[in-house]
């Protein structure tokens, strides 16, 4: 059952959000895909080489947006190896991409903020490098329901973090 499709954001939007040196051009960023037929997660690739020192946080503009049917949400998680081996986490623990985010002012540009969860004082702290083109996070589509009392009629206008009013 297909409920969504991945697209790239425009070159202008990508340039406005891009802060990483030597990043892939948006046209060269592969759209998220599953590694195997049984995979639930769609892997996102890192558009540039990034290094996270212990305690660092960094926002990665993926160059990707997602159009999905209402009633669905795209949940973002770090790839298992980054979390398990290196304690790299998403800054908000889980990314939530709502079905109306694709129509936000920033074109629905999916941004991923990673943190190197190791404390700078920890005995086993180490920097973590993610290479350009390496898979670094994964998105899983999940259905969601509404409460009987739901009466929201507002349309999204802002982009990344815009519903936190």
pLDDT in tens, 117-163: 865 566 667 899 999 999 999 999 999 988 888 777 666 465 555 55
pLDDT of 165 strictly over 50: no
Report, as an integer, the average pLDDT of 15-33.
96
Q: What is the pLDDT of residue 125?
A: 74
Beta carbons within 10 angstroms of residue 64's beta carbon: 26
Domain ranges (residues) in the chain: 4-143
Q: How far apart are CA 150 and CA 160, in angstroms?
A: 23
- Counting residues of the chain whose pLDDT is more than 90, the rounded percentage is 73
Cβ contact 139:32 at 8 Å: yes
Closest CA to 66 of 35, 43, 98: 98
Q: Round the average pLDDT of the chain to a whole number and report it.
A: 90
pLDDT in tens, 31-66: 999 999 999 999 999 999 999 999 899 999 999 999
Name the CATH superfamily, with its identifier, for domain 4-143.
Answer: Deoxyuridine triphosphatase (dUTPase) (2.70.40.10)
Q: What is the pLDDT of residue 122?
A: 61
> pTM (2 decimals)?
0.87
Q: How far apart are CA 115 and CA 45, in angstroms?
A: 17
Top-confidence residue, 23 or 117 = 23
Q: How confident is the model at residue 84 (pLDDT cuts 50, 70, 90)?
A: confident
Structure tokens belonging to residue 28: 């060269």
Q: What is the largest CA-CA distance in the chain?
A: 51
């Amino acid at each position: 059952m297909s409920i969504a499709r991945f697209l790239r954001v425009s070159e202008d939007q990508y340039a406005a959000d891009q802060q990483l040196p030597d990043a892939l051009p948006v046209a060269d960023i592969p759209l998220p895909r599953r590694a195997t037929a049984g995979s639930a997660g769609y892997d996102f690739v890192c558009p540039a080489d990034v290094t996270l020192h212990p305690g660092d946080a960094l926002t990665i503009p993926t160059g990707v947006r997602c159009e999905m049917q209402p009633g669905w949400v795209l949940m973002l998680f770090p790839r298992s190896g980054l979390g398990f081996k290196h304690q790299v986490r998403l800054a908000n623990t889980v990314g939530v991409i709502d079905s109306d985010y694709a129509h936000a002012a920033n074109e629905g540009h999916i941004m991923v903020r990673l943190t190197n969860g190791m404390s700078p004082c920890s005995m086993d702290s180490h920097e973590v490098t993610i290479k350009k083109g390496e898979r670094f996070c994964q998105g899983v589509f999940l259905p969601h329901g509404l409460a009987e009392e739901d009466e929201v009629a507002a349309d999204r206008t802002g982009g990344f973090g815009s519903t936190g009013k």
